[in-house]
Amino acid sequence: MSGPRPVRAPRGTELSALGWQQEAALRMLQNNLDPEVAEHPDQLVVYGGTGKAARDWRSFDAMVRTLKTLKQDETMLVQSGRPVGVMQTHEWAPRVLIANSNLVGDWANWEEFRRLESLGLTMYGQMTAGSWIYIGTQGILQGTYETFAAVAAKKFDGTLAGTITLTAGLGGMGGAQPLAVTMNDGVAICIDVDPRAIERRIEHRYLDVKADSLEHALQLAVEARDQRKPLSIGLLGNAADLLPRMLAEGAPIDIVTDQTSAHDPLAYLPTGVDFDDMASYAAKDPAGFTTRARESMARHVEAMVGFMDAGAEVFDYGNSIRGEAQLAGYDRAFAFPGFVPAYIRPLFCEGKGPFRWAALSGEASDIHKTDKALLDLFPENESLHRWIKMAGERVHFQGLPARICWLGQGERDKAGDMFNDMVGNGTLAAPLAIGRDHLDCGSVASPYRETEAMLDGSDAIADWPLLNAMVNVASGASWVSIHHGGGVGMGRSIHAGQVSVADGTKLAGEKIRRVLTNDPGMGVIRHVDAGYDIAESVADEKGVRIPMREG
Ligand code: NAD
């Protein structure tokens, strides 16, 4: 009988599969469930509420077994975390194709999803959980850092020094917030109901200190703010209680956002419920729990709007909390914007997004070598230099050493090609898995997040992520996935991912150049199609062909 047990990816150059492409998928699946990486590995949950890497332990074992014997011209098919077939394909085809959590439109809601999940027919794949390219909290750190840098540029003369940010959620993704704020020299108060989440972020050096009470948190925050010193403070409590209280007491907050798991009402603790009773209550009465969670989210969002009215910079951080508050009847839920239209869209127009790579050797020195090589490759990219330097000093690796940085059209292919050469000529100890988040420029349709307020109103058009997945399959990615509901929950997003393995061979080089040109290219064409001028200039400059602009 297979059941929960500690999982850790093998390190080094000894293969347990028939080639590095398969070995990479095997190690990255296992790495997602490494206790250092996953939030709740015993339940196969990697991050983001209930985002899982495999449907159940039997499916996990079957995937491991299959990947170990999969040939170079075979492809394993994964349906919501369970391997359902192996087909003969060809060497250029992906070794794994993954479809997670997809439901037909009218059925695409949490209630139906949970019914099917309880029958053992599906699982929630989030974004990089079910597509095996989660790299721990660092994965979101640079995006969060850049977002707060954009807030600083927009509102606070380019620095968060002397400001206080208030947020909640110190989970797998939300845990990046305190470090991203202090990297921008600001002060952050970060609320979470789970004491372990606070301890874990302190242990991993993402969070500086824990406050004993709200008063203590405010005292520490104001002192640090007045000295213009960066400081992040963890505060235990329920955001739906604490935010309204802080607003009523006139707490001096400059920036407000949130990264609780609001996309899934069963992962947001309602007020008046003890954290220790959360799981049993959610399991016993999901409908009642959902109603109470949404009511609490309405209070939480109402307080965020109150802070906005009082002059703070307030934004939704991609967790659907506005949509949930609206469902509970709060009519000003969408008074503040999502972070993509507010700060990130111009980057998407350039094909930029969260490019990442993991060292399959398990050696930190491989990542340090790629860091240095990347800086030499892009000597003029100042923000890249700033980020890589800070990441090198402050990021704690979780599981296989990995790095993330935002690169755009014309950059990712160069980096990928160079990495493949570094594997081929023995500079690196073993191959790299090169992938990205699904939160990317051309890989997602998500009207409350990545595609909120598109210029042409095309927010809910989901053809783009499907084309993105197809083009990555056609270009030679090592594994490709199509998911539903990641980030913002059931019925609210469709998105695709790809991972390409740099194993140092000529064939891998050919594939990587195509995938890493075409994948960000989807972001450029998506934004040209929606009418963004920046995307048009990038298309012209980088030679991205747009038939409707030719002839
Ligand atoms: P997670 O489940 O690992 O962590 C969520 C945290 O919220 C937990 O620590 C939980 O204890 C806490 N929490 C729940 N209810 C609370 C309440 N009422 N008050 C205070 N704390 C509460 O999730 P995660 O991976 O950190 O993701 C958080 C959210 O951010 C998700 O909705 C996810 O989809 C979204 N997300 C956003 C981005 C982005 O780029 N903006 C990226 C990934 C994920």
**What single letter denotes the amino acid at residue 84?**
V
pLDDT, tens digit (0-9, with 9 covering 90-100), for 80-103: 999 999 999 999 999 999 999 999
- Which residue has the least CA distance to atom 8 on ligand 1? 171
Cα 319 to middle of ligand 1, angstroms: 7
Mean pLDDT of 263-272: 96
Q: What is the pLDDT of residue 322?
A: 97
Alpha helices in 9-99 (DSSP H): 20-32, 57-69
Q: Is 391 helix (H, G, I), strand (E, B) or coil?
A: helix
Q: What is the pLDDT of residue 203?
A: 93
Q: Considering the domain boundaries, does residue 251 fall inside one?
A: yes
Residue of 417, 437, 427 lying closest to 377 (CA atoms): 417
Q: Is 417 helix (H, G, I), strand (E, B) or coil?
A: helix
Residue of 315, 411, 401 lying closest to 354 (CA atoms): 411
Residue of 24, 3, 111 lying closest to 423 (CA atoms): 24
Mean pLDDT of 148-154: 90
Cβ burial of 3 (10 Å; 0-12, 13-18, 19+) is: exposed
Neighbours of 46 (CB within 10 A): 29
Tokens 């010193």 belong to which residue?
Answer: 229
The tokens describing 513, both together, are 């150049």
Mean pLDDT of 239-255: 98
Q: What is the pLDDT of residue 510?
A: 98
**Distant-in-sequence, close-in-space partners of 443: CB < 8 Å, separation ≥ 6:** 353, 436, 464, 465, 468, 469, 495, 496, 497, 519, 522, 523
The tokens describing 547, both together, are 């038939």
Residues annotated as catalytic (active site), given as ranges: 405
Strand 231-236 relative to strand 255-256: parallel, antiparallel, unpaired?
Answer: unpaired
Spatial distance between the Cα atoms of 457 and 341, rounded to a whole number of angstroms = 13
Q: Considering the domain boundaries, does residue 96 fall inside one?
A: no
CATH of the domain at 203: 3.40.50.10730
Cβ burial of 28 (10 Å; 0-12, 13-18, 19+) is: buried
Spatial distance between the Cα atoms of 38 and 45, rounded to a whole number of angstroms = 6
DSSP string, 97-154: EEEES---GGG-SHHHHHHHHHTTS----TTTTTTT---STHHHHHHHHHHHHHHHHH
- Bridge partners of residue 210, in order along the sequence: 234
Is 459's pLDDT higher than 90? Answer: yes
Is 357's pLDDT higher than 70? Answer: yes
Q: Considering the domain boundaries, does residue 121 fall inside one?
A: no
- Bridge partners of residue 445, in order along the sequence: 494
Is 312's pLDDT higher than 80? Answer: yes
pLDDT, tens digit (0-9, with 9 covering 90-100), for 477-520: 999 999 999 999 999 999 999 999 999 999 999 999 999 999 99
Mean pLDDT of 165-175: 95
- Bridge partners of residue 540, in order along the sequence: none
Q: How high is the ipTM of this complex?
A: 0.98
Mean pLDDT of 450-457: 97
Atom of ligand 1 nearest to the CA of 271: 18
Spatial distance between the Cα atoms of 234 and 188, rounded to a whole number of angstroms = 8
pLDDT, tens digit (0-9, with 9 covering 90-100), for 41-81: 999 999 999 999 999 999 999 999 999 999 999 999 999 99
- Which residue has the least CA distance to atom 39 on ligand 1? 318
Residue 137's pLDDT band (cuts 50, 70, 90): confident
Is 533's pLDDT higher than 80? Answer: yes
pLDDT, tens digit (0-9, with 9 covering 90-100), for 31-40: 999 999 999 9
Q: Considering the domain boundaries, does residue 353 fall inside one?
A: no
Q: Considering the domain boundaries, does residue 385 fall inside one?
A: no
Spatial distance between the Cα atoms of 510 and 417, rounded to a whole number of angstroms = 9
Tokens 């989901």 belong to which residue?
Answer: 462
Is 259 annotated among the ligand-binding residues?
Answer: yes
Q: What is the pLDDT of residue 38?
A: 96
Atom of ligand 1 nearest to the CA of 489: 34
Spatial distance between the Cα atoms of 440 and 236, rounded to a whole number of angstroms = 32
240 Cβ inside 6 Å of ligand 1: yes
Q: Considering the domain boundaries, does residue 9 fall inside one?
A: no
Mean pLDDT of 192-200: 97
The tokens describing 263, both together, are 């996309």
Q: What is the pLDDT of residue 272?
A: 97
Q: What is the pLDDT of residue 1?
A: 52
Q: Is 479 helix (H, G, I), strand (E, B) or coil?
A: strand
Cα 141 to middle of ligand 1, angstroms: 14
Q: What is the DSSP letter of 56?
A: S
**What single letter denotes the amino acid at residue 21?**
Q
pTM, two decimals, is: 0.90
Q: What is the pLDDT of residue 58?
A: 98
The overall average pLDDT reported for the chain is 96
Q: What is the pLDDT of residue 371?
A: 98
Is 49 annotated among the ligand-binding residues?
Answer: yes
Q: Considering the domain boundaries, does residue 143 fall inside one?
A: yes
Domain assignment of residue 157, given as a range: 138-336
More confident residue, 216 or 2: 216
Residue of 398, 443, 489 lying closest to 49 (CA atoms): 489
Is 302's pLDDT higher than 90? Answer: yes
143 Cβ inside 6 Å of ligand 1: yes
Residue 159's pLDDT band (cuts 50, 70, 90): very high
Mean pLDDT of 296-318: 97
* Count of domains observed in the chain: 1
Task: Name the strand (E) or helix (H) holding 503.
Answer: none
235 Cβ inside 6 Å of ligand 1: no
Q: Considering the domain boundaries, does residue 211 fall inside one?
A: yes
